[in-house]
Structure 1
Amino acid sequence: MEARKKRRWPYVLGGIFAVLVLGVAIVLWRLDAILLQQARAQAATFSQQLGRPIQIGDISTKLFPHIGVDVENVSVGAAEGEDLPLAEVKALDVRVAAMPLLRSSGKDIQVLNAEVTGLTVNVIRLPDGTTNVQRLQERLASQQKPEEEAPPENTPPTDLSGVRVDRAALTDGTIRFVDRSGAKAQELAVSDLDIEVKDLRVGQPLEVKLAAAVLAQKQNLFVTLSASPLPPTLVPTPERLSLKAEAIDLAPLGPFLPPSVGFQAGTLTADWKAELGAAIPGGKGPTRLEGAIRALGLKFAGAEGGKALDVVLDTDVKADLAAGDLALDRFKLDFGPAGIDGKGRVKGMHGSTPSVEGFELTSHDLDPAVLSDYYPPLKKMLGGMIAGPVGLSVKGSGTQEAQALEAEVDLTPVRLRIPAQLSKEAGAAMRLTARLAGAAASGGALRFDAKANLAGVDMRPGLVLNKAPGQRLDAAVAGTYQPTQDGMKVNVSQLTLNVLADTLTGTATAALAGQGKKQTTTFALDMKSPRIDADALLMPEEEVLARTGGKEEPPSDDATRFNGYRGDMKFQVGAVRYSQMDLSNIVAHVTMVDDLIQVEKLTTGIYGGSVVADGTSIRLGPLPEQRPFEAKVKVQGVEMGSALSAFTPKKVMTGTFNGNVDVKGVGYTPGQLKQTLLGAINGNVANGSLLGLDIISSVTEPLAKALPFAAKALRSGDVTSLGENLPFGVEIKNGVAQLDKPITWSRPEGAMNFTGGIRLDGELDLSGTVNLAPQTIQTLTLGKAKPTEAIPVTLNLTGPAWSPKVTGLDVKPAATAIAKQVVGGLAGQLLGDKAKPVQDLITGGGQAAREEAERQKQALEQKAAEEKARLDAAARAKQEEAKKKAEEEAKKRLRGVFGK
């Protein structure tokens, strides 16, 4: 009985295994169906985007001993008006090793084979002259979404060390060219197209082979690209390139190229090899270019007289950039009538004593305008910017003991018209010469010196320099150049720039590192000059407006255009003339980090005094409203009359100013500053006078007329003395400079007290009191009134600062008080000792005037306090609004980072 029970287990296990096999078979059968269904659903979505039907014939999968997918009969169909599909693929076969993938949880991806077979692409030229490929590109461009926010620059590169591809290939591919634009359809093809890559993985060299039959029955184009061992990113660094082409007739391809090219005929023959080495970024080792590429009989629509263009590159060039060796055993580049020829050798340029053996590289007939007769699209590309033969020459120079290379670019015969930059007539001087010697004693950096003569250039089209043809503009530099692993370093030990009548000398350094958005440009500049006349150097504003029709150049919308810049700039200038201002002994140290400009040190003499602006900063945002600044300026002994006259039609005041200016804001136009400028100005004016208005006269004239008896106003000219020392403090908010406390000063005729402020456009808004001294009242009344105390008069100062006006003048209380003083005096003369009670009763009017003045003063102070409170509230509201806006911007950026 027991034996019978034990013999049942094989059947049980067999049944379980059969069920598992059946289950796996069912899953595989259904898996193919499920994948096919999903693939067709995705194809339907892409069909809507492309405007072309996408069909997938079948999908089959395999899970053991490797994971494989076979896709058959895929096609991207024809759009409306087309009779052939855009592309077809007979089969796509992908095989991935299963066990490494499973053991590594998907990190070890070993692709055994990835092959596309029977790819056919149909390029159709339609009756309207366009192609189906152009139509597809236009449709995709119209659906293109705005670029998403770039990921942070410190994102590490993707590590693909776990990926290995044993073989990837495209076999038996075809590109058909079908011309439907004529009465009779024509067809040609690039067939038998094979592309193969083997053993693609980290640490192994890469080799890509391409072969195709271009408009021929057998393969006649062969390209091989080899790369150095691949890094973890699998981004290749090319090492070798070979190209072979066997007399390919290019004429049939003309109708399928963009109409703007106008290509009609030509043949291509090539047998050329390149050992790239250190000539490309990241490459190492020597460089060699050997062989020839010939594109002959190239004809383009519109060519003058049907001229054909021959382009020939024939080289046997060897170079070792690390050692500084270059051998031109053969170098010839011809394009039509123009060409560049080279020969000779250079050895040891990175050493201290290089040798030059018959080295020569020269151009002939290099006239872009003439070349455009052969290739008409060049005329449109140049836009009339350049015409005339360009002279290019590189030759050996120096003595046997100190040899060097000397290069010269002569643009004197050339006519230039570069929009918004410069222009030059043919025959006007424009020449650049440079000399390259051996490496410096240390560091292996090449020594160079260069001179540029731009006397014949008109720089005025650039709307910056006011330099006309014939005026002086030349530069001379000397220094060292050294390539680095990811960029270069330049050290200019001598720099001289002559512009018009001014000369600048100094030194400079620059270093470039990285690529793309991670590129950094570090530079330093140290310049000196005895004198700079900026008014002569720079284009006058009225001429700029006349040339531009009053339109300002639109600001850049690229918020990252200064990213990566790191600068340190120092200047020493004996004298500068700018905007009719004369500055002296300027010493400046300015730094730059991205778009932030920071003034580390700035001192200058101006208007008889000195200015220190250490700590001032500004950001160069893409838009004016995104350019915050903070100015910290200390002023000592500046003559106010001259300083203010630079901003007003005429002199406003005299005296010297000592104090501090501490303001911040956003933007630089009056409209922007009116909304954003905040800060304070504190200091004092010594021996100052307000010009254009005598406040005492402006008060006493209407007061004299208001008296019931003859009186004489005081006149001392249109000047108001501000005393020996007038301290003041101004708080700037919302475009208004508000006095933080009343300003008070005295003069023999009376004491003055004012509150209020001044707008950024120069409009005054001051309210105050003039307390006329007893002696002034006595003089005013011709001795009739002899008060013992000052009599106040209230008034406002309004209008432009350069043409102030007295408004709101109320002389009635003062006139009444003076009249009572006169009546009291007459009573004393008539009644003698008995007149005292009457005088006290009458002269009480003086107290009434003072009380009325005090009441008005308090009302004005209350008004000023209310205005200050209103400005404070408005400033707080704007700051809160800016804070909320910044928070919203931060939230948007976070949403962009996390995709929510």
Structure 2
Amino acid sequence: MKKKRWPYVLGGILVLLIAIVAVVLWRLDAILLKTARDQAATYSQKLGRPIEIGDVSTKLFPYVGARIQNVTVGPAEGEELPLAEVKDVTVSVAAMPLLTSKGKDIRVRDAEASGLTVNVIRLADGTTNVQRLQEKLAEQQPKEQTPEEESQPTDLSGVHVERAALTDGTIRFVDRAAGAQARELAVKDLDIEVKDLRAGQPLKVDLAAAVLAEKQNLKMTLAAAPLPATLIPTPEQVTLKAEHIDLSPLGLFLPPDVGLRAGTLDADWKADLGGAVPGGKGPTKLVGVIKALGMKFAGSEGGKALDVVLDTDVTGDMATGDLALDKLKLDLGPAAITGKGKVKGLLTDKPAVEGFELVGRNLDPAVLAEYYPPLRKQLNGMIAGPIGLDVRGSGTQEAQALNIAVDLTPVRLRVPDQLTKEAGGAMKLNAKVTGAAASGGALHFDAKADMNGVDLRPGLLVNKAPGQRLEVAAAGTYAPAKTGSGMTVNVTSMSLGALEDTVTGTATVALAGTGKKATTTFKANVKAARLDAEKLLMSEEEVLARTGGKPPPEPPVEANRFNGYRGDIQFAIASLRYTAMDMSNVTGVVKMVDDLITVEKFSTGIYGGKVVADGTTIRLGPAPEARPFTAKVQVQGLEVAQALAARTPKQVLTGKFNGNVDVQGVGYTPEKLQQTLLGGINGNLLEGTFLGKDLVSSVTGPLAKALPFAKALKSGDVTSLGGDLPFSVTIKNGVAQLSKPITWTRPEAAMSFDGGIGLDGTLNLTGGVSLTPATIKTLTVGKVTPTEAIPVGVKLGGKAWSPDVTGVDVKPAATTILKLAGASVAGNLLGEKGKAVQDIITGGQDKAKAEAEARAAEERKKLEDQARAEQEKAKKRAEEEAKKRLKGIFGGK
């Protein structure tokens, strides 16, 4: 009996499991439905539209599936119909692969949405509910944040979708505008289907719809190359078929600025894209016709209708340089572009041109705007007049070429903040393109541009007026990247003629990658015999004159805009004038890595000397006021007077400077540098002269007034700084502080100063002028000749070119001179006996005592009293005589 009970036990367990699964599925559907409705409520608040979900049901085996029914995105306030409705959405995924791969192998058997209805309503104010939704979404869109590095693409190689489809969709167009006759239109029977979507397989997307018709009259197919692991497609083929679709009723539902009122669309066109798209390979072929006829737009001149016809039978291969125009005709109302002929092997060593022509006729945007008024707003008056376009094949069998001519001379241009050109002003481009084996399979080009009629002054940078010379010529090769996207341009010769100067050189530019991984690698070598950048660039005064006295606003900058740039520029300019500086033999090498500019080598002759700036750096990424830099400059034989002439109102200093400048800071305006500049300057000033003040006279003048017997010396306006004046300053917070006092000696005086000088030229120096004995003798008319120099304290303030001499303290010096004068009188009157009096007056009393004691010790005790008595008598007589003589000297009675 016990043996027969196990089937009942097992059966009971199975029943229990089935019951548990049933309960779980029942509760799972309820949980999912509640979660979905909660999410719908959240988005309802964001979009201002009720979102409702009818039901959610699930299936777990053998396919994990979900079915969502009756999803509605309801009307917003003032709308009578829901924006969208979906009757049924089903998704089924194979369960076992999903479980065994832990969610990595996702095999979607079927994903289908059916019964989709979208209601596009034109409201009373002329706008549509779709426009309102777009505005609401724009408000919800978070501000774009630029990541430091591009995220790695997701690997979706485990995803396989056997079928995904939208079936039986409808787009209804409902006109409820004020005063409009109520009517409804529809795009019905909308089907979109994708099959076998997975990595390694080609992708095909089919779309069909009945546009304002009872049967399907629009079909589109997109085919893509085998998908990569990211499932991001590379389109290979696009087909379009449209059977006389009346566009007139749809115009009301387009944005108002389009203003479409009438027109029909017919198309039977196919494009094999090949290498024309990034990542594509093989030839490109465009075959078929697209016709948009009788296109009328609101505001067109005289109700003109625009016919647009594109008729192509074009084949091209970017890998070999083949282009066959069996038929090319683009009609845009009165304008047209036509082409015929063939180019073969332009990127090979055997190019051939067979009757190739590409010609433009009546390409005048202003005339086209008469048919299509929105173009007038889009152009904003930037361009008017017929554009000349002519591309033709020429040459012999051995040397064949394409000649390209673009003539904008009849065109009037108004590019805001960039340039202007009047109709009739010269602006032409002529180029020749050939293939050459010597170019390694690259196209060879030779181009010349005449831009003499262009006015570049609206750009507030280049001071080039209409009629002034601006000519550009370049020759070299162009080659597309052999793998991936990109190209390499090698300019073997180039020249730029601007105003009276000409710059020549060579350059290479290579582009690779896309997006944030794009790189631009370049190398250039530039030479010029003469370049007057001061004349070529607009001055600050000219800029302010054009902007009404207000500095132009700095455009917003993206800090990472230079990422991916790599290269260097070598230059040699025999004569360069820039910002009132005349430089000679300007040579250097500048390297760029992202936004970091490094001056690897730079030297120039300037102001009679030579400047070397190797190792200087600056970052271009931040805004100008926040750009950090380091400057390392070596100077030899610089004429200081020339260097300062344009930067100070009056001459300040002369002499030659040899030394080093090593500073760093942020920004380059004087205000910013006063806050951020750090570093030091050290060197020697040879044969220097300070022109702002005669420091000796600034001291001897007040001193002469303090002495009753002095005669003022002849004053001057300069101070000689000696033959070799070494100095060293430390710069911090916009002040150049002397690292140690500067000292120099002249025949008239020895001088020493310490302190700092602001970047604005403000002096804050404290020091002294020590007048030599010869100067004191001259000052006192020979009455006093000290044995040592006599110092006078001085302070220098104000601007360097107009300094203020303050704090001249002559009292100690005057007191010393007076004592010396008294001692001199005593000596003259008493001779040897008056020496003791001189010592007392001049401060030598202790020395006299010491000598007296020495003599007393020698003569022993018996002579001591006698010597003292005689000394006291002599002292009294000397004092009396000195008093009388001083009264005579000072004019006393």
Q: TM-score range by the shorter chain?
A: over 0.9
User: Could you tell me which residue of structure 1 aligns to residue 499 of structure 2?
Assistant: 500
Correspondences of 1:186-585 after superposition (within 5 Å): 186-484=183-481, 485-548=484-547, 549-585=549-585
Structure showing greater Rg: 2
User: Could you tell me which residue of structure 2 aligns to residue 809 of structure 1?
Assistant: 808
Distance of aligned partners of 1:439 and 1:196 in 2 relative to their CA distance in 1, 3 Å threshold: farther
Distance 2:99 2:507 in 1: 59
User: Could you tell me which residue of structure 1 aligns to residue 793 of structure 2?
Assistant: 794
User: Could you tell me which residue of structure 1 aligns to residue 890 of structure 2?
Assistant: none
* Per-residue CA distance 1:457-476 (angstroms, 9 max, x = gap): 11111111111111111011
Query: What is the aligned counterpart of 1:163 among 159, 164, 176?
Result: 159
SS at match of 2:103: coil
* Per-residue CA distance 1:694-748 (angstroms, 9 max, x = gap): 1011111111111122422242x21111111000000001111000000000000
Correspondences of 1:716-865 after superposition (within 5 Å): 717-844=716-843
SS at match of 1:457: coil
Distance 2:624 2:709 in 1: 62
- Deviation, structure 1 residue 151: 5.7
> What is the TM-score normalised by the length of structure 2?
0.93
SS at match of 1:305: helix
* Per-residue CA distance 1:561-582 (angstroms, 9 max, x = gap): 1111112110011110112211
Distance of aligned partners of 1:833 and 1:194 in 2 relative to their CA distance in 1, 3 Å threshold: same
Retained in 2: the 8 A contact 1:796–1:809?
Answer: yes
* Per-residue CA distance 1:589-625 (angstroms, 9 max, x = gap): 0011111000000011111111110000000133234
SS at match of 1:8: helix
Retained in 2: the 8 A contact 1:816–1:845?
Answer: no
SS at match of 2:831: helix
* Per-residue CA distance 1:336-378 (angstroms, 9 max, x = gap): 1111000111111012231111100000111111111111111
Retained in 2: the 8 A contact 1:100–1:110?
Answer: yes
User: Could you tell me which residue of structure 2 aligns to residue 622 of structure 1?
Assistant: 622
Distance 2:460 2:522 in 1: 26
Retained in 2: the 8 A contact 1:817–1:846?
Answer: no
Moved over 6 A (4+): none
Distance 1:342 1:672 in 2: 59
* Per-residue CA distance 1:111-130 (angstroms, 9 max, x = gap): 00000001111011110111
Retained in 1: the 8 A contact 2:84–2:119?
Answer: yes
> What is the TM-score normalised by the length of structure 1?
0.92
SS at match of 1:441: helix
Distance 1:570 1:388 in 2: 41
Distance 1:733 1:320 in 2: 63
Distance 1:552 1:468 in 2: 20
- Deviation, structure 1 residue 827: 2.1
Retained in 2: the 8 A contact 1:694–1:718?
Answer: yes
Distance 1:72 1:632 in 2: 73
User: Could you tell me which residue of structure 1 aligns to residue 632 of structure 2?
Assistant: 632
SS at match of 2:2: helix
**Bigger CA drift: 510-519 or 88-97?**
510-519
- Deviation, structure 1 residue 387: 0.9
Distance of aligned partners of 1:695 and 1:188 in 2 relative to their CA distance in 1, 3 Å threshold: same
* Per-residue CA distance 1:523-567 (angstroms, 9 max, x = gap): 111011111111111112200122123223324241111111112
Distance 2:21 2:410 in 1: 82
Retained in 2: the 8 A contact 1:174–1:189?
Answer: yes
- Deviation, structure 1 residue 53: 0.5
Distance 2:560 2:319 in 1: 35
Distance 1:651 1:233 in 2: 70
Retained in 2: the 8 A contact 1:353–1:403?
Answer: no
Listed as ranges, the gaps of 5+ residues in structure 2 are: 847-893
Correspondences of 1:660-679 after superposition (within 5 Å): 660-679=660-679
- Deviation, structure 1 residue 136: 1.2
User: Could you tell me which residue of structure 1 aligns to residue 43 of structure 2?
Assistant: 46
Distance 2:710 2:767 in 1: 27
Retained in 2: the 8 A contact 1:440–1:480?
Answer: no
Give yes or no for the alignment of 1:77 onto 2:94. Answer: no
Retained in 2: the 8 A contact 1:556–1:622?
Answer: no
> For this pair of structures, how many residues does the alignment match?
842
Distance 2:197 2:372 in 1: 42
Aligned residue type for 2:631: A
Distance 1:411 1:666 in 2: 44
Distance 1:621 1:229 in 2: 40
Retained in 1: the 8 A contact 2:382–2:414?
Answer: yes
Distance 1:345 1:290 in 2: 16
CA RMSD of aligned residues (A): 1.4
**Bigger CA drift: 628-637 or 313-322?**
313-322
Listed as ranges, the gaps of 5+ residues in structure 1 are: 848-900
Residue identity over aligned pairs, in percent, reads 69
- Deviation, structure 1 residue 332: 0.3
Aligned residue type for 1:425: E
Retained in 2: the 8 A contact 1:332–1:340?
Answer: yes
Give yes or no for the alignment of 1:107 onto 2:104. Answer: yes
User: Could you tell me which residue of structure 2 aligns to residue 873 of structure 1?
Assistant: none
User: Could you tell me which residue of structure 2 aligns to residue 877 of structure 1?
Assistant: none
- Deviation, structure 1 residue 826: 1.9
Retained in 1: the 8 A contact 2:125–2:178?
Answer: no
Distance 1:815 1:85 in 2: 104
- Deviation, structure 1 residue 626: 2.8
* Per-residue CA distance 1:799-841 (angstroms, 9 max, x = gap): 1111122111111111121122222222222333332222222
- Deviation, structure 1 residue 173: 0.3
Aligned residue type for 1:656: K
Distance 2:801 2:171 in 1: 80
Retained in 2: the 8 A contact 1:712–1:779?
Answer: no
User: Could you tell me which residue of structure 2 aligns to residue 709 of structure 1?
Assistant: 709
Distance 1:540 1:182 in 2: 57
- Deviation, structure 1 residue 68: 0.7
Retained in 2: the 8 A contact 1:693–1:720?
Answer: yes
Distance 2:387 2:634 in 1: 54
* Per-residue CA distance 1:135-159 (angstroms, 9 max, x = gap): 1111121222222342623x33211
* Per-residue CA distance 1:225-269 (angstroms, 9 max, x = gap): 111111111111111111000000001011111111111111101
Correspondences of 1:5-16 after superposition (within 5 Å): 5-16=2-13
Aligned residue type for 2:507: A
Distance of aligned partners of 1:250 and 1:448 in 2 relative to their CA distance in 1, 3 Å threshold: same
Aligned residue type for 1:116: A
User: Could you tell me which residue of structure 1 aligns to residue 871 of structure 2?
Assistant: none
Distance 1:798 1:721 in 2: 19
Aligned residue type for 1:503: T
